[in-house]
C-alpha cells in the first residue's frame, strides 16, 4: 500500500481536552502521535465521525492560554479499554498552530 501522508508523524504524550461542537460535550484525550495534518488520540468513548471538534491544548510559553485547533474525527477503532481516533486538523491553520505545541 502506498503511503499517502504529507506530514511526518511525531510521537507525542500530551493530555488535552477534546470538545464536540455539536453535542457540547468535552472529553479528555491522550495524544499518541501528531503531525501537521492531524493527531492520533486515545479516548474512553467513541466520537461521531466527520463532526466538528475543538482540541484544547495547554499552550507552552503563553501563560495559561489554551491553543484551540478546529478539527474532525476521520476514523476510529475499538481499542478494548477505549478508542483510538484519527483526527484531522482544519487545513487553514494547522501547521502554524501545531508548531506552537512544540515551541
Residue 92 lies in a domain: yes
Residue 24, pLDDT score: 94
Cα 8 to Cα 31: distance, rounded to the nearest angstrom: 15
Instruction: Tell me the whole-structure pTM to 2 decimals.
Output: 0.79
CATH at 66:
2.40.10.220
Cα 75 to Cα 30: distance, rounded to the nearest angstrom: 16
Which residue do the cell numbers 481536552 mark?
A: 17
Contact of 32 with 41, CB cutoff 8 Å: yes
Residue 42 lies in a domain: yes
Residue 65 lies in a domain: yes
Q: Write out the residue range of the structural domain in which residue 46 sits.
A: 10-102
Residue 79 lies in a domain: yes
Residue 2 lies in a domain: no
Residue 1 lies in a domain: no
**How many domains does the chain divide into?**
1
Give average pLDDT by consecutive 10-residue segment, the chain, 103 residues.
67 89 93 87 94 84 72 95 93 60 55
Amino acid at each position: 500500500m502506498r503511503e499517502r501522508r504529507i506530514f511526518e508523524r511525531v510521537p507525542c504524550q500530551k493530555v488535552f481536552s477534546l470538545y464536540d461542537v455539536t453535542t457540547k460535550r468535552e472529553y479528555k484525550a491522550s495524544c499518541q502521535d501528531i503531525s501537521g495534518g492531524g493527531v492520533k488520540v486515545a479516548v474512553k468513548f467513541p466520537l461521531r465521525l466527520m463532526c466538528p471538534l475543538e482540541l484544547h491544548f495547554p499552550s507552552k510559553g503563553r501563560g495559561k492560554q489554551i491553543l484551540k485547533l478546529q478539527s474532525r474525527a476521520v476514523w476510529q477503532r475499538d481499542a478494548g479499554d477505549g478508542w483510538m481516533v484519527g483526527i484531522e486538523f482544519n487545513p487553514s491553520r494547522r501547521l502554524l498552530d501545531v508548531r506552537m505545541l512544540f515551541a
